[in-house]
């Protein structure tokens, strides 16, 4: 049985796209997921499943949400080991960094290189970003000392700007999801 993490994009924010966590757990159970647990109210779930295809699970979950709730919600499903890789390969030293202002933006796939090429990191200082894999990034690490709501840099790493599904989680959530997936 493989452990997975589902990340739902843009739910329960500002009263829109309401998906109660109990409903999310039930939807996942209906997809033959086992030991389904959620974290916070923002669309984070950890579960087991006998299949080993995160893309198929993503498609199935999005379809189930559309069918049952009438909502078009973009989802990303990653293996638990992949979330642990994100934690282990964090390119920031983390000394003095407020973990609630340190994000990982998860991507459905690598964006076209030209979408990232024109970003001048110096123009956004003291905010910083680093790509998990510069050749084919599927995660972007962001240090936003003044928080995400005041960030100009975070606005560059959205679905619309990158051309792929993007959803961010703060470092506390990422490490908690990794720990839950390892249980």
What is d(CA 131, CA 139) in angstroms, rounded to the nearest whole number? Answer: 6
Question: pLDDT (tens digit, 9 = 90+) per residue, 122-171?
Answer: 999 999 999 998 888 999 999 999 999 999 999 999 999 999 999 999 99
What is d(CA 64, CA 81) in angstroms, rounded to the nearest whole number? Answer: 25
Sketch out the chain's domains with CATH numbers: 2-82 (3.30.70.1280), 83-182 (no CATH)
Has residue 14 got a pLDDT over 80?
Answer: no
pLDDT of residue 108: 96
| Sheet containing strand 128-131, strands side by side | 128-131, 139-143, 102-107, 166-170
Percent of the chain having pLDDT more than 70?
Answer: 98
Residue position matching structure tokens 């452990």: 3
Instruction: Say if CB 48 and CB 34 are below 8 A apart.
Output: yes
Span 21-41, mean pLDDT? 95
Span 15-34, mean pLDDT? 93
Span 101-106, mean pLDDT? 98
pLDDT of residue 87: 98
Structure tokens at 107: 């991507």
Segment (H or E) for 73:
none
Bridge partners of 102? 143
Has residue 17 got a pLDDT over 80?
Answer: yes
Confidence band, pLDDT 50/70/90 cuts, at residue 15: confident
Q: Compute CA distances 175 → 15, 42, 114, 135, 147, whole Å.
A: 27, 15, 31, 25, 19
What is d(CA 19, CA 143) in angstroms, rounded to the nearest whole number? Answer: 29
Return the number of other C-beta atoms located less than 10 Å from residue 152's C-beta. Answer: 11
pTM of the model: 0.95
Confidence band, pLDDT 50/70/90 cuts, at residue 118: confident
What is d(CA 110, CA 48) in angstroms, rounded to the nearest whole number? Answer: 26
Residue position matching structure tokens 């606005």: 155
pLDDT of residue 29: 96
């Amino acid at each position: 049985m493989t452990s997975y993490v589902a990340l739902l994009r843009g739910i329960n924010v500002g009263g829109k796209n309401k998906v109660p966590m109990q409903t999310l757990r039930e939807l996942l159970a209906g997809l033959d997921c086992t030991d389904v647990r959620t974290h916070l109210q923002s669309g984070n779930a950890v579960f087991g499943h006998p299949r080993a295809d995160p893309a198929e699970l993503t498609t199935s979950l999005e379809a189930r949400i559309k069918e049952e709730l009438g909502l078009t919600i973009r989802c990303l499903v990653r293996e638990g080991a992949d979330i642990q890789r994100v934690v282990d390969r964090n390119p920031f030293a983390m000394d003095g960094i407020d973990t609630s202002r340190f994000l990982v933006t998860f991507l459905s796939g690598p964006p076209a290189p030209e979408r990232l090429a024109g970003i001048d990191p110096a123009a956004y200082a003291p905010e910083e970003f680093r790509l998990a894999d510069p050749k084919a990034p599927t995660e972007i690490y962001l240090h936003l000392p003044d928080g995400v709501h005041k960030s100009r840099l975070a606005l560059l790493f959205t679905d619309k700007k990158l051309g792929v599904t993007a959803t961010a989680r703060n470092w506390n959530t990422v490490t908690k999801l990794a720990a839950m997936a390892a249980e």
